[in-house]
């Protein structure tokens, strides 16, 4: 039994490695920086790394995300020391000892808070809430169109299980996409608990996310894949 499970595990890792390597190769082939030989090797390394990570516990992946600098150094060290030459000669990498400082443009003119707010106001573009949040509805509309009682909606809001966006000065509206069969999708509450600002939480939920393969978190929640979304949110917002 244990042997068959180990075989299935290895087969799954091999499948992940092949799939990731193929996607990485497609991307690198379009980059003139990479020669054909380096594309294949880079893709295989990326696939092997993905296969090693895919089954790690959430806590380990989170720790790796926090130590990406160390991870990059270790990978570089492995490449430097690996060689099939008999004398174990290192593969020389041309890595500068120091990075040349960038002159940049320096700091601009220091202005007062009032002046800063005025300048930001000139740059800011007014957008309707629906333009970025998608279709929203108030408590009356949700009760009429989706049979969600006001008392139930209030209970969800006070428990942090639903995203409520302030429209105007007092009225709250609710993004319709978060509801499935008349109740918030599983995982909405966990995301809301991670992000104190409801607008930021919903903006994150409804935008394509590279950590989730370019898919929108809200779409994955609707597919009952809350664990993936919550893990991505924990990694993302822990770094803020």
Residue 172 placed within a domain? yes
Pseudo-torsion of CA 24, 27, 84, 50, nearest 10°? -20
Residue 102 placed within a domain? no
**234 in the same domain as 163:** yes
Domain stop point among 28, 59, 81: 81
**135 in the same domain as 67:** no
**138 in the same domain as 73:** no
Residue 96 placed within a domain? no
Stretches where the chain sits below pLDDT 70 are: 1-9, 11, 21, 24, 28, 30-37, 39, 69, 77, 79-107, 124-126, 239-240
Residue 98 placed within a domain? no
Give the model's pLDDT for residue 1. 46
**214 in the same domain as 159:** yes
For 3-52, the pLDDT digits (tens) are 566 666 676 777 777 787 677 677 767 666 666 567 677 777 877 777 77
Q: Which domain holds residue 231?
A: 123-238
Give the model's pLDDT for residue 237. 82
Report the alpha-carbon distance of residue 17 to residue 6 in Å, rounded: 16
Domain stop point among 27, 54, 81: 81
Residue 212 placed within a domain? yes
Q: At what angle do helices 58-66 and 226-238 cross, to 10 degrees?
A: 30
pTM, two decimal places: 0.51
Domain stop point among 22, 54, 81: 81
Q: At what angle do helices 36-53 and 2-29 cross, to 10 degrees?
A: 140
**232 in the same domain as 162:** yes
Long-range contacts of 14-23 (CB under 8 A, 24+ apart): 14/51, 16/47, 16/50, 16/51, 16/54, 17/44, 17/47, 17/48, 17/50, 17/51, 18/47, 19/47, 20/46, 20/47, 20/50, 20/51, 21/46, 21/47, 22/47
Give the model's pLDDT for residue 87. 54
The rounded Cα 22 to chain-centroid distance in angstroms is: 22
Report the alpha-carbon distance of residue 157 to residue 164 in Å, rounded: 7
**173 in the same domain as 67:** no
Rg (the chain; Cα; Å): 25
Residue 127 placed within a domain? yes
List the structure tokens of 103.
Answer: 């002159």
The three-state (H, E, C) secondary structure of 45-110, written as one string:
HHHHHHHHHCCCCHHHHHHHHHCHHHHHHHHHHHHHHCCCCCCCCCCCCCCCCCCCCCCCCCCCCC
List the structure tokens of 75.
Answer: 């990978």
- DSSP class of 216: -
**234 in the same domain as 158:** yes
**128 in the same domain as 63:** no
**153 in the same domain as 61:** no
**Structural domain total, the chain:** 2
Report the alpha-carbon distance of residue 163 to residue 161 in Å, rounded: 7
Residue 110 placed within a domain? no
List all residues 6 or more positions away from 89 whose beta carbon is below 8 Å from its beta carbon.
83
Residue 116 placed within a domain? no
**215 in the same domain as 131:** yes
Give the model's pLDDT for residue 159. 92
């Amino acid at each position: 039994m244990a042997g068959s499970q180990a075989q299935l595990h290895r087969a799954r890792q091999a499948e992940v490695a092949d799939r990731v390597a193929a996607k990485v190769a497609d991307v690198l082939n379009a980059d003139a920086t990479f020669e054909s030989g380096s594309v294949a090797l880079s893709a295989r390394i990326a696939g092997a790394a993905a296969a090693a990570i895919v089954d790690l516990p959430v806590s380990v992946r989170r720790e790796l995300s926090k130590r990406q600098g160390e991870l990059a150094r270790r990978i570089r060290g492995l490449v430097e020391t690996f060689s099939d030459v008999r004398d174990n000669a290192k593969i020389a990498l041309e890595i500068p000892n120091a990075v040349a400082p960038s002159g940049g443009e320096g700091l601009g003119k220091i202005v007062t808070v009032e002046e800063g707010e005025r300048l930001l106001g000139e740059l800011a573009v007014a957008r309707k809430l629906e333009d970025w949040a998608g279709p929203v509805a108030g408590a009356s509309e949700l009760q009429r169109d989706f049979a969600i009682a006001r008392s139930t909606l209030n209970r969800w809001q006070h428990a942090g299980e639903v995203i409520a966006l302030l429209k105007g000065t007092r009225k709250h509206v609710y993004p319709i996409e978060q509801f499935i069969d008349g109740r918030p999708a599983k995982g909405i509450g966990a995301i809301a608990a991670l992000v104190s600002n409801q607008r930021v939480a919903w903006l994150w939920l409804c935008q394509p996310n590279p950590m989730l393969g370019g898919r929108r978190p809200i779409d994955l929640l609707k597919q009952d894949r809350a664990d993936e979304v919550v893990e991505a949110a924990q990694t993302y917002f822990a770094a803020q």
